[in-house]
Amino acid sequence: MTTHPTTPFDGQKPGTSGLRKKTKVFMQPNFLENFVQATFDAIGGVTGKTLVLGGDGRYFGDAASQVILKMAAANGAARVIVGQGAWLSTPAASNLIRQRGADGGVILSASHNPGGETEDFGLKYNMSNGGPAPEAVTEAIFARTKVITEFHKLDAPDVNLEMVGESHLGAMTVEVVDPVCDYADLMETIFDFKALRGLFHEGFTMRMDSMCAITGPYAVEIFENRLGAPKGTVVHETPLPDFGGMHPDPNPTWAHELMAEMMGDNGPDFGAASDGDGDRNMILGRGIYVSPSDSIAVLAANAQLVPGYAGGLKGVARSMPTSAAVDRVAAALGIDCYETPTGWKFFGNLMDAGRVSLCGEESFGTGSDHVREKDGLWAVLMWLNIIAARGQSVAEIMADHFVRFGRNYYSRHDYEALPTEQANAMLGDLRARLDTLKGTSYQGLTVESSDEFSYTDPVDGSVSAQQGFRILFEGGSRVVLRLSGTGTEGATLRVYLERYVPGPDGLGEDPQTALAPIIAATEEIVGISARTGRQGPDVIT
Ligand code: VG1
Ligand code: CO
């Protein structure tokens, strides 16, 4: 018997990046099975198809992999390529799908959300281009979860995923592969590994904090084994089911150990951290933090120094809440710059159509068309390659960049786990008043325009509405507000603040100070503290 009756679960709606729930929700009988079957059904079945499977090593990933393998077999899949130990970073999974010409892939991760039995789990389906399923597909999956009556699962013993090699599950081949090798090889085709080896040989120092998540094995292989950085360059390098209790979100709040080392006396030349599934990155120099919105701008401005982009960039794209720093670089380079909704799934069409080479999000996500996911270690290697080519420190590169392009002071304020109704009411009120804001002034700032962002994909014409509120002030400052689509508790309000200073004066301020008038104006307009009773944000990046 491979067909099992089931009944729908509420709330299996994929968010910004797949379905994320408390691990115990996923562990309920049939919850995972329903979602996987709905996914298979929504993509037209998996008969005869090849899939890639892997995840970030978090709790329940191995058990979930066994379920998915048995379901793929019962649904007629021809082959599933699995990372050894059910491990694959998100960018490595994207690469494997593309390299092996697979029909799609299942990534088991809740990314930057903590892991463990009492924390979060997640599942995401990627398409044959290696990128996250677009909205039309995630909506079809959700629709299917609401009417599901049965799923298919083979009754068979677990597959050994600890050893590289092939085995069979019914008529399906299970191919266990080294999760690191192909990805590391891909990096060698993009970057000047010889120059990077030279950099470390000359005594350049680096700290890479893998936060007990999936990038550890990749970072050790690339930086220590292939590039010759000293042992110990990578810390928290062993992926653990609960990430060792760390919150694998590479930002100053959660990567505080690394921050302390980089800001302290005698810190390394360069520092970086990555998230649970390896698609995010934080970049630091000795004594300096690089805002992710600035990072994508610097990478775009210097990309031609990197072998993989020596021919120039096709174009760039950023998510709407990301600062306009990269727009200025694109204008200087004479290339297109696209503005998309939050979430990497919106970049895929632009990359497939050959319109953009680099993409970035303010949330520590940068990547390029080498895969169809954002890629944390790729960003680290981009920075290293640029440092090697320019022979300058991170601080020097940043200072040069601001002098040349001006500075987009930027910060994101997160209010986590707000009561959902309260957050919805607050933004609902803002929506109702949005048209009346134009011309009104707050803290000396006059509203130039305000709207709710709606995106029309320039490649396939699909429309994604209600993607965040934008309030633009005269002089180029702005605030953006939206609710997170990756949280698992209540509602998380994200407030994105930006102010442009052309220079040459005023380029060295503290961002929170530079943004203080916009923060105060936002409070006057939206009343976040007044309505939620919160004194301030939970996380500032
Ligand atoms: C957040 C970020 C978004 C990112 C998404 C997935 O989404 O803001 O930029 O693409 O996480 O990243 P939200 O809806 O919570 O704001 V990952 O590394 O968690 O897959
Ligand atoms: Co991630």
Answer whether 241's CB lies under 8 Å from 57's CB.
yes
Pairing of strands 455-456, 445-452: unpaired
Per-residue pLDDT of the chain (541 residues), as tens digits, is 699 999 999 999 999 889 999 999 999 999 999 999 999 999 999 999 999 999 999 999 999 999 999 999 999 999 999 999 999 999 999 999 999 999 999 999 999 999 999 999 999 999 999 999 999 999 999 999 999 999 999 999 999 999 999 999 999 999 999 999 999 999 999 999 999 999 999 999 999 999 999 999 999 999 999 999 999 999 999 999 999 998 999 999 999 999 999 999 899 999 999 999 999 999 999 999 999 999 999 999 999 999 999 999 999 999 999 999 999 999 999 999 999 999 999 999 999 999 999 999 999 999 999 999 999 999 999 999 999 999 999 999 999 999 999 999 999 999 999 999 999 999 999 999 999 999 999 999 999 999 999 999 999 999 999 999 999 999 889 999 999 988 888 999 999 999 999 988 989 999 999 999 999 999 999 999 999 999 999 999 9
Level-2 CATH architecture, domain 183-405: 3-Layer(aba) Sandwich (3.40)
User: Selecting from 3.40.50.720, 3.40.50.300, 3.30.365.10, 3.40.120.10, what CATH number does the domain 3-179 have?
Assistant: 3.40.120.10
345 Cβ inside 6 Å of ligand 1: no
SS3 499: strand
17 Cβ inside 6 Å of ligand 1: yes
CA 390-395-400 angle, 5° bins: 65
Report the residue count for the chain: 541
Answer whether 248's CB lies under 8 Å from 119's CB.
no
Residue 163 Cα to ligand 2 midpoint, Å, equals 26
Distance CA 357, CA 119 (A): 35
CA 342-357-291 angle, 5° bins: 55
Residue 417 Cα to ligand 2 midpoint, Å, equals 20
The burial of 33, by beta-carbon neighbours within 10 Å (0-12 exposed, 13-18 middle, 19 or more buried), is given as buried
Distance CA 159, CA 259 (A): 41
Predicted TM-score (pTM) above 0.85? yes
Residue nearest to atom 2 of ligand 1 (CA): 363
Residues 6+ apart with CB under 8 A from 313: 300, 303, 304, 333, 335, 356, 357, 358
52-108 per-position pLDDT tens digit: 999 999 999 999 999 999 999 999 999 999 999 999 999 999 999 999 999 999 999
- What secondary structure letter does DSSP report for 137? H
Q: Where in the chain is the domain with CATH 3.40.120.10?
A: 3-179, 183-405
Answer whether 275's CB lies under 8 Å from 292's CB.
no
**For residue 493, which ligand has an atom nearest its CA?**
1
Residue 265 Cα to ligand 1 midpoint, Å, equals 33
Level-2 CATH architecture, domain 407-540: 2-Layer Sandwich (3.30)
Residue 328 Cα to ligand 1 midpoint, Å, equals 24
Q: Where in the chain is the domain with CATH 3.30.310.50?
A: 407-540
Residue 448 Cα to ligand 2 midpoint, Å, equals 35
* Residue among 84, 40, 70 at smallest CA distance from 168: 70
Distance CA 153, CA 5 (A): 11
Residue nearest to atom 6 of ligand 1 (CA): 17
CA 5-7-13 angle, 5° bins: 130
Which of 13, 17, 319, 377 has most ligand 1 atoms within 8 Å of its beta carbon, as the pocket-test mutant?
Answer: 17
Measured CA distances, 479 to 67, 127, 277, 440 (Å) = 44, 34, 29, 15
Residue 39 structure tokens: 């996914």
Instruction: State which H helix or E strand residue 189 sits in.
Output: helix 181-190
Residue 365 structure tokens: 């996500």
Query: Three-state SS string across 56-72, please?
Result: CCCCCHHHHHHHHHHHH
CA atoms within 13 A on the CB side of 308: 23
Residues 6+ apart with CB under 8 A from 417: 487, 489, 490, 491, 492
84 Cβ inside 6 Å of ligand 1: no
361 Cβ inside 6 Å of ligand 1: yes
* Residue among 513, 527, 313 at smallest CA distance from 423: 527
250-299 per-position pLDDT tens digit: 999 999 999 999 999 899 999 999 999 999 999 999 999 999 999 999 99
pLDDT for residue 315: 98
412 Cβ inside 6 Å of ligand 1: no
347 Cβ inside 6 Å of ligand 1: no
pLDDT for residue 1: 66
- Residues recognised as catalytic: 111
CA 359-17-452 angle, 5° bins: 70
